[in-house]
Amino acid sequence: MTQASTKGWIPLGIVVLAAIAGCGNDDASPRQKQAQYLDAQLAEVSSELAFMDFQLKVNAEAHCAVADALSNTLETSSDQDATKVLMHDLSQEAQGRCAAYKTTLSASLPVVQLAKETGRIPSPIYSFIIVEEEDKTYQEEEVGPFASESVCIEIENIARKAGLATKACKVWKTSRLRRTSPAPFTPNIRFK
pTM over the 0.75 mark: no
In this structure, are residues 126 and 171 in contact, taking their beta carbons and an 8 Å threshold? yes
In what helix (H) or strand (E) does residue 109 lie, and over which residues does it extend? helix 81-118
Residue 20, CB half-sphere, CA atoms under 13 Å: how many? Answer: 19
Tens-digit pLDDT profile for the chain (192 aa)? 333 443 444 444 444 444 444 444 456 676 676 677 888 899 999 989 999 999 999 888 888 988 888 877 766 666 666 677 777 788 888 899 999 999 999 999 999 999 999 999 988 999 999 988 777 788 888 999 999 999 999 999 999 999 888 999 999 987 544 333 334 444 433 333
How many angstroms separate the CA atoms of 154 and 144, rounded? 12
